[in-house]
Chains A and B, each alone.
Chain A
Amino acid sequence: MSNLLGHYNYWIVIVLMMTGFYIVIARPNLIKKVIGLFIFQTSVFILFISMAKIEGGSAPIIEEGISVYSNPLPHVLILTAIVVSLATTALGLALIVRIREAYGTTNEDEIHVQDEQD
């Protein structure tokens, strides 16, 4: 039981991660792939933040009368990771817009077919 509760966060995170992974590899639509990537990224964020949590701890903003704080280091890492995830999402979507203009579709299978015809 303690094993289940102790690892619940990690397991759900892995399920989420695999959901995102599945969308990325199984769905031909490029926008859907970006969304899958987004889910994957967010689940990694949750993994790190779960590791930072200390039972009974409080947010790492120093205040009188609080002695236990959660670990601030993963927070810093993830804060920057979120910003990078936005950068990758924006670039990916911009590429999709250009691909759509060049091929007339956002479907990966159709793009492959067109590439083979050339």
Chain B
Amino acid sequence: MEHFIDIVLLGLLMITGFAIVRLRSLLAVTMLTSIYSLLSAALFVVLDAVDVALTEAAIGAGISTILMLATIAQTTDREKVPRHTPLLPLIVVITTGAALIYGTLDMPHYGDPDAPVHRHMAAAYLHDTPLEIGVPNVVTSVLASYRGYDTLGEVTVIFTAGIGVLALLGYHTRRQNIQPPGIKKIVVLRVIAKLFLPLILLFALYILFHGDYGPGGGFQAGVIFATGFILYALAFGLGNAQRLIPQRLLHGLAAAGVLIYAAVGIEGMLLGGKFLEYRVLADDPVTGQHLGIMLIELGVGITVAAVMLIIYFGFVSRQNSGDS
């Protein structure tokens, strides 16, 4: 039965993809992109990848869409008809696609338990995680403990992206509040935003610290945290949001998260282990693993939330200063 849902969702994704090619209004395309992202997130749930689904929903349907909208708001909504006939691209695409489809014929069937992918590392991780790490969520244990180096690199990538956007767009603090013209008078929205902000932040913390036991973790929590503040900025104006979290604080937090992560690694070295070896952090190896994972997830969450907000403020504050 899951197979049926899988087939239908993939079909819908394909239709959405074609619609995105055909539409010329960029705002409409962005809406469809958001739908595409939501559908693929639903597909990830069908395919058992709950952590990925959570990330894709928060990042793809949430932040990416908002960034695209912010870009369109300060450029243009209309896509011009291309001057070239799309014959050559079409040939290239069809040839590549045919080659790739030929390549899939040798791949193991979908859902095949004997596929080579499932033979080696995965079984070991699934077997060892409850014994060595003691957390039920294998994705978290692999992400944060077994492959902690990768994740440290990941956080650095995010941090670098934040610096990159900051270098490209700068950061303009708004003294006066420019209210978005479309939703200026909506009192209901402000009340709801005020009601929801604490709930969203609390929920983000739940996702952060419950990541060991269910879907979730630092990346998702950071994005949800940032989404809460974006909602605040949307309802109450950018100036108020920037007064709530000043620029210097954001910059400090973005760096602090990476530093917390690295410090946990170095702490492990000081206590006689290797870099990012959590076992030595406490007397009991499993407790040490728990502590280490929790600390680095906290670091990841702080950096991701701060960088998301830096990027969002970078885009939106530039737009407002350009308009007025």
**Using a CB–CB distance below 8 Å, which chain A residues touch chain B?**
2, 5-23, 25-29, 31-32, 34-35, 38-39, 42, 45-46, 49-63, 68-76, 78-80, 82-91, 93-98, 100, 106-107, 109
B48 & A60 in contact (Cβ 8 Å cutoff): yes
B110 & A35 in contact (Cβ 8 Å cutoff): no
Show 11 A/B contacts (Cβ-Cβ < 8 Å), sorted by A.
A18-B94, A45-B56, A52-B49, A53-B111, A61-B50, A73-B121, A80-B143, A85-B59, A90-B311, A91-B164, A97-B75
| A25 to chain B: closest residue by CB | B89
| A74 to chain B: closest residue by CB | B117
A97 to B80, CA, bound (A): 17
Contact stretch, chosen from B39-47, B229-237, B247-255, B265-273: B39-47
> Within residues 68 to 99 of chain B, which ones have a CB less than 8 A from any CB in chain A?
68, 70-72, 74-76, 79-80, 82-84, 86, 89-90, 92-94, 96-97
B48 & A93 in contact (Cβ 8 Å cutoff): no
Min CB gap B243→A, angstroms: 24
A97 & B169 in contact (Cβ 8 Å cutoff): yes
- Contact flag A45-B40 (CB < 8 Å), given A21-B96, A55-B112, A83-B154: yes
Asked whether any CB of chain A lies closer than 8 Å to the CB of B189, the reply is: no
Size class of the contact patch on chain B: 35 or more
A98 & B48 in contact (Cβ 8 Å cutoff): no
B315 & A59 in contact (Cβ 8 Å cutoff): no
Q: Which residues of B contact A79 (CB under 8 A)?
A: 51-52, 55, 139, 143, 217, 219
A83 & B17 in contact (Cβ 8 Å cutoff): no
Q: Which residues of B contact A98 (CB under 8 A)?
A: 168-169
> Within residues 118 to 149 of chain B, which ones have a CB less than 8 A from any CB in chain A?
118, 121-122, 125-126, 129-130, 136-139, 142-143, 147
B97 & A15 in contact (Cβ 8 Å cutoff): yes
B110 & A6 in contact (Cβ 8 Å cutoff): yes
- Contact flag A19-B158 (CB < 8 Å), given A53-B48, A61-B214: no
Digitize B92-118: 1 where CB-to-A-CB distance is under 8 Å, 0 elsewhere: 111011001100110101111101011
Q: Which residues of A contact B157 (CB under 8 A)?
A: 83-84, 87
**Using a CB–CB distance below 8 Å, which chain B residues touch chain A?**
3, 6-7, 10-11, 13-14, 17-18, 20-21, 26, 29-30, 33, 36-37, 40, 43-44, 47-52, 55-56, 59-60, 63-64, 67-68, 70-72, 74-76, 79-80, 82-84, 86, 89-90, 92-94, 96-97, 100-101, 104-105, 107, 109-113, 115, 117-118, 121-122, 125-126, 129-130, 136-139, 142-143, 147, 150-151, 154, 157-158, 160-161, 164-165, 168-169, 213-215, 217, 219, 304, 311, 314-315, 318
B21 & A19 in contact (Cβ 8 Å cutoff): yes
Find B117's partner among A51, A88, A94 (CB 8 Å cutoff): A51
- Contact flag A7-B107 (CB < 8 Å), given A93-B67, A98-B169: yes
Min CB gap A95→B, angstroms: 6
B161 & A72 in contact (Cβ 8 Å cutoff): no
A53 & B47 in contact (Cβ 8 Å cutoff): yes
- Contact flag A19-B111 (CB < 8 Å), given A35-B29, A59-B50: no
Known contacts A15-B97, A22-B86, then 4 further A-B pairs from the complex at CB < 8 Å, ordered by chain A residue: A7-B104, A23-B20, A78-B52, A97-B75
A60 & B126 in contact (Cβ 8 Å cutoff): yes
Min CB gap B226→A, angstroms: 11
